[in-house]
Amino acid sequence: MEKSFIVSSSPHIRDNANTRKIMLDVIIALLPASLAGVYFFGPRTLLVILVSVLACVLSEYASRKLMKRSNTISDLSAVVTGLLLALNLPPTAPLWMVVVGAVVAIVIIKQLFGGIGQNFINPAMGARVFLFMSYANHMTNWVIPGADAVSSATPLGILKAEEAAEAVLPTYKDLFLGNIGGCIGEVSAAALLLGGVYLVARKVIGPEIPLAYIGTLGLFTWIFGGPTFFSGDFLYHILSGGLMLGAIYMATDYATSPMTTKGRIIMGIGCGLLTGIIRLYTNYPEGVSFAILIMNVMVPLIDRYTVPKSFGGGKAVA
């Protein structure tokens, strides 16, 4: 979640001290999910997280140095990107691949477009999709919590009957607590919700995008996700996959989300619809990453029609 501030001259110019404060809040909010990942998948998970954070910080330092720009690692945005990237990776991710993802996120997606607040897609999410498209085998190598070498299907893969037809669906309790296969940071809905409540209480994020996103996906999968209309297991879809991680921590990125409340609700609805369509009607059991990136690209258009005009006729600042 790259954070920035909206001011009169640009929607993405930021105050460094305030940015650092917000980033620190985001780091604190992500700690429960990070600790849950380490608890369920073992100590190697911590190594993946540390390598991702370190690689992102070093990539930011080196790229800013080469471009002869002021150093920005003190604002902690690179740390947040590294943490989010790690939480979007499987616990078995090779460390070299983690470094590749960090370079893509920081150098290509963030710094080449001007740095924090000027990226047009979420850096961590963009890097995750790049890694998925480039190294699909590594990015879909799931394991059973507590058994590093035992392959496992994700809950959504089981539901779609593509990864393990004979597997038993996890219980709602396992989905909520995190005793399932999946990415490091997406498995525990409880930990992600705890961090989300903290961010809303601290007013770092508003509830519009998460509620619209989760609510839309729940409604869509309830109507269309079962053998007949209005028979889908919407709660399973809400608790499974990267929905909580994406809706709370990545779709709410200031730089890649709409400026107005109305715009943010539209984005949340769009993310929910796209995620539902991808999950139910494509060969891919998950759709959060692609849905968020598509809606990131749509944000300028959403802003164009939702930011009210000022009295003089120009666009007002949200």
The CATH number assigned to the domain holding 97 equals 1.10.3430
- Count of domains for the chain: 1
- Asked if residue 3 belongs to a domain, the reply is no
- Asked if residue 318 belongs to a domain, the reply is no
- Asked if residue 14 belongs to a domain, the reply is no
- Asked if residue 6 belongs to a domain, the reply is no
User: Which residue in 103, 93, 1 sits closest to 47, CA to CA?
Assistant: 93
Query: Each residue's pLDDT tens digit in the chain (318 positions)?
Result: 554 433 333 344 446 779 999 999 999 999 999 999 999 999 999 999 999 999 999 999 999 999 999 999 999 999 999 999 999 999 999 999 999 999 999 999 999 999 998 999 999 999 999 999 999 999 998 888 866 555 667 888 888 765 445 567 889 999 999 989 899 999 999 999 999 999 999 999 999 999 999 999 999 999 999 999 999 999 999 999 999 999 999 999 999 999 999 999 999 999 999 999 999 999 898 999 999 999 999 999 999 999 987 665 555 555
- Asked if residue 308 belongs to a domain, the reply is no
- Asked if residue 13 belongs to a domain, the reply is no
Q: Is the dihedral of CA 152, 154, 158, 160 positive or negative?
A: negative
- Asked if residue 2 belongs to a domain, the reply is no
Would you state the pLDDT for residue 12? 44
- Full domain range(s) for residue 205: 19-303
- Asked if residue 196 belongs to a domain, the reply is yes
